[in-house]
Structure 1
Amino acid sequence: MQIQVRPSITTVNPRLGGEDSVDLLWLSAILKDIKAGSSLIEAAKKAGTSYRGAWEKLNSVEDALLTPIIIRTKGHGSKLTSFGEFFLKFIDDLRDSNQQYVKPYQEILAKKIGELGIENDRRWRFASSSDAIIQQSVSEVKGFDLKIAGSSEALEKLLNNEADLAGYHVSDKKRSKVIHSHLSKNDLQIYPVMKRIQGLIVKKGNPLGIQSIADLTNPKVRFINRQTGSGTRLLLDSLLKDEAISPSEINGYDHEEFTHTAISNAILAGKADVGIGVKNIALENGLNFIPLKDEIFFVAMKKDVATQSIAKKLIKKIRSNSEAMPGYKAVSLNSQIISWI
């Protein structure tokens, strides 16, 4: 049973109109990182939020307060205004007060709901990065409403209490540790569930002889990308950075799809020559696959959600299904990936 009362501020949704809300504890984490010298992009990544999402939420808070919180200077990053400094301390004080007085009521409410048996009919909101194993497991373990989202968006929804669970994947150990630390500080339980291989998906027979990221700079090669904020897009960008390749050198870098299956479909339809995705999707569609990097897939959830038998069943099912899928391997213990957390 996930019941958590957290302070928030009512704002106006910039895209949809009407009232919205911003979690003040999320905002506090963003402001603290900016105060410590991080850029808004860096702070957003640490908070498991897309840059666009963080930018919109900050703007909406400033509009609600009629006062700037941060100063944005082109080429020089961001810093807190004097009011921003005050507001950060205000949130921290409010958080301490909220924990002291609200927690007992949360526990009373959760206990009463449990006594009434309402939990049995609950459908848990699961925001997750696109993955065939996740989709298969959710279909086999009833009781979850799955929403496909990029890794960053999924974590943002969990931290903003718009989801009960979040599925995300990372290929960089340093970034994985940052995310794990941030989620743990927000009283979340994190489960490593599987390892999978990401790579280049190309036409059958690989007619263009594509072998590496460097081959994407060939102007004759048409690339299809994943959407901004997805874990796969972050992986690609890190590989390009390692190879000192500019996105502008890739024909199709700005052409986006939202799932691994959509990438393979674009290649099958002749709309692209190569994309980036997971091995099993390439094999299922008779396409060639060039491995690039292993990554770990995690499922994060509130600790009270983690105590539910259905959540434990889902984790077990994901691990079991991953063992039967090419390009995947179950991960069940933190000790197996100690360098990632």
Structure 2
Amino acid sequence: MHRIQLHYTLSRDAGDAKIRNPLPEMLEAIVQQGSISGAARVLDLSYRHVWGALKRWEEQLGGELIIWGKGQSAQLSEFGTKLLWAERQAQARLAPQIAALHADLERAFAVAFDDSAHVLTLYASHDDALATLRAHAATPGASGALHLDIRFTGSVDAIRALNEGRCTLAGFHTLEQPASSSLAARTYKPLLQPGLHKIIGFAQRTQGLIVAKGNPLELHTLADVARTGARFVNRPLGSGTRVLLEDLLALSGLTGQHIAGFERDEPSHAAVAQAVAAGAADAGLGIEMAARARGLDFVPLVNERYHLACLKSSLDQPATRALRELLLTPAWQHHMSQLPGYTPMHSGEVLAMSSVLPWWQFARPKRASAPRKKP
């Protein structure tokens, strides 16, 4: 059995949260370019280096990676194809955990090397814009860098972590006007308390069906998914998208029993999109950014708001204030508007809970009437 070893690099340059390995990158380049020389060019390596590295890996792994045909393009062997597929699957499935590990390391070294840095712990429902914000926030500013320690988890677990003191902010999402009888209301209302919690605006995003390129099954609604028996991939219990799906099914007069594959789930939007891209599913509910990143089609269904909840007592703490100021900047809001399926909405503003979560109704106290004068 082959063992996996993990390494990390300390650098002043901003990087992404992926765990990288040169072998899959070389195999991907050969698939895209059709030759070792082409792969060497795009990787900015010499032909000799790529050739020698492939031969060494073939010896170490005990299998042929490339099939050579006279006068034909270089092609991956079955073994090479499976290695590349396994790496893609692992990256998609483990992206939240990898991002959390990346955040842990950066948090530790931020504290060690920069006393002026702000560190903010955020548990959140999986969201690609937050991952982008994390890199954007780490750029040093006038008052030091803001390091977002993001742990992607279900919306319910995120708010529970906030209430238990394990984080400063919790990210969750709802429809723009969730009904007071909705599953969202029944799920989040017991977890959030007016006067104790505050809501910070973040974004409007679109959720819809992630489907294969060209939408071959012509899936435009959840009713189409049920009618055609399309293989669906779900999100886990406790995730905000699972809550959203069940609310959308109820609005369509459907239940999970009408959806083939309702019991199968993946941990993130990226993993749902990868399942569709790999042909293991026909559709899943997710965000547009995850679909576009894998060359898939996206059928928009609803717009929703992504909220950041915090305790009132932490609203004016330096790290929370630094994040609010960052979210209000034109630079960040322009950056977010370029992300597929995202629009800044009250980004960085402290919002009235009754306006964004309308199941909370606060009656205004009646003014006392003046006493009547005796005739």
TM range (shorter): 0.5 to 0.7
Say yes or no: does 1:285 pair with 2:294: yes
**Cα distance change of structure 1 residues 304 and 322 upon mapping to structure 2, 3 Å threshold:** same
User: 1:226, 1:233 within 8 Å by CA — same for their partners in 2?
Assistant: yes
Q: Does 1:239 align with 2:248?
A: yes
CA offset at residue 163 of structure 1?
1.5
Distance 1:337 1:330 in 2: 20
Summarize deviations over 1:119-164 as a string: whole Å, max 9, x none.
8566332100101111111233233321101111100110111221
For residues 153 and 243 of structure 1, do their structure 2 counterparts lie closer, same or farther at Cα, with a shift above 3 Å needed?
A: same
**1:193 is paired with a residue of what secondary structure?**
strand
Match of 2:230, SS?
coil
Report what 2:151 is aligned to. Answer: 147
Is the 2:118–2:318 Cα contact (8 Å) retained in structure 1?
no
Q: What is the TM-score normalised by the length of structure 1?
A: 0.59
Matched ranges for 1:129-140 at <5 A? 129-140=125-136
For residues 200 and 288 of structure 1, the distance between their equivalents in structure 2, rounded to whole angstroms, comes to 8
Counterpart-to-counterpart distance in 2, 1:335 and 1:186: 11
* Aligned counterpart, 1:170: 174
Specify whether residues 306 and 339 from structure 1 end up closer, same or farther in structure 2 by C-alpha distance, changes over 3 A only.
Answer: closer
Distance 1:273 1:180 in 2: 34
1:205-246 CA-to-partner distances (Å, cap 9, x unmatched) read: 001111110112145411010111111111110111122212
1:338 is matched with which residue?
355
Shift of 1:326: 2.3
Does 2:341 correspond to 1:324?
Answer: no
Cα distance, 1:184 vs structure 2: 4.2
Query: CA 1:244–1:330 in 2, change beyond 3 Å: closer, same or farther?
Result: same
Gaps of at least 5 residues in structure 2 are 1-113, 138-145, 359-375
Aligned counterpart in structure 2 of residue 202 of structure 1, from 202, 211, 215: 211
Residues 316 and 130 of structure 1: is their aligned pair in 2 closer, same or farther, counting only changes over 3 Å?
A: farther
Q: Residue 254 of structure 1 is aligned with which of 244, 263, 275?
A: 263
Structure with the larger helix share: 1
Cα pair 2:122 2:151 within 8 Å, conserved: yes
Which range moves more in the overlay, 281-290 or 253-262?
Answer: 281-290
Report which of the two structures shows the higher radius of gyration computed on alpha carbons. 2
> Within 2, Cα distance between the matches of 1:316 and 1:270?
43
Partners in 2 of 1:245 and 1:119 — Cα distance? Answer: 54
Tell me the distance in 1 between the aligned counterparts of 2:200 and 2:282.
36
1:280–1:201 CA distance, 2 compared to 1 (3 A): same
Q: TM-score, normalised by structure 2?
A: 0.54
Classify 1:163/1:170 alpha carbon distance in 2 versus 1 (closer, same or farther; 3 Å). same
Q: 1:232 to 1:140 in 2, by over 3 A?
A: same
Write the mapping of 1:115-126 to structure 2, written as runs, cut at 5 A.
120=116, 123-126=119-122
CA contact (8 A) 2:159 2:191 kept: no
Amino acid at match of 2:212: K
Q: CA RMSD in A?
A: 2.7
Structure 1 residue aligned with 2:317: 308
Structure 1 pair 177–250 and aligned structure 2 pair: CA distance change class (3 A)? closer
5+ long unaligned stretches in structure 1:
1-117
SS at match of 1:253: coil
